Amino acid sequence: MTSGTTPGLARFNTSADSEALAALHEVCTSSAWGSKILAQRPYTTAEALFLASDAAMAELTPEDLAEAMAGHPPIGRPKEGDATSTREQSGMAGSSAELKAEMLELNLAYQEKFGHVFLICATGRTGEQMRDAVRDRIGNTPEREREIVRTELGKINRIRLTRLAEEESAA
């Protein structure tokens, strides 16, 4: 291990391409993003991995972004049995029934307008903060919203890549 390389990052760098792609798919479901990250291995530091992720995210086409968004469940409805989405959306867990119902309504209105789920880096946000964000963003143009989604996906990817790089053993 070189200085700055964590056990998880070392394992990612040396794993078979198919195994590394599977791990990247858990971070982001865009195949274009995953291929770009894979092609640049090995990474000497987590920061180098983050920078590669940011660059790959900036290059995604609208179709690639749609593929990435398809891997995210609606806010307030994490995928059953998916520890990652449950953890990331924990701010909604203790929300009132009224807030959950309002969030469902807002999610549906957002999805009808933009054609995809409302995507936000939910880690550390309360249910109220997520509701306020969807209220604010529903008035955006599709072009503006696509760039906000790109930024939010980048934040989510960094959080997930941090977990990947810091894992002590293979999951």
**Architecture in CATH for domain 7-166:** Orthogonal Bundle (1.10)
Between the two ends of the chain, the Cα-to-Cα distance in Å is: 20
- Is the pTM higher than 0.85? The answer reads yes
Question: Domain-by-domain residue ranges, the chain?
Answer: 7-166
CA 12 from chain centre, in angstroms, equals: 18
Q: What pLDDT score was predicted for residue 2?
A: 42
> Which residues fall within 8 angstroms of residue 22, CB to CB, at 6 or more apart?
none
Please check whether residue 20 is in contact with residue 26, taking contact to mean a CB–CB distance below 8 angstroms: no
For residue 73, what pLDDT is reported?
A: 81
For residue range 103-159, list pLDDT tens digits in order: 999 999 999 999 999 999 988 899 999 999 999 999 999 999 999 999 999 999 999
C-alpha–C-alpha distance, residues 54 and 37, integer Å: 10
CB 40 within 8 A of CB 50: no
Q: How confident is the model over 3-34, as pLDDT tens digits? A: 467 889 999 999 999 999 999 999 999 999 99
Which two three-digit tokens encode residue 8? 């998880």
pLDDT band at 80 (very low <50, low <70, confident <90, very high): confident
Q: Looking at the chain, how many residues does it have?
A: 171
Is the C-alpha dihedral spanning 123, 129, 134, 136 positive or negative? negative
Task: Report pLDDT for 35.
Answer: 97
pLDDT classification of 169: cutoffs 50, 70, 90: low
Q: What confidence tens digit (pLDDT) does each residue in 36-58 have? A: 999 999 999 999 999 999 999 99
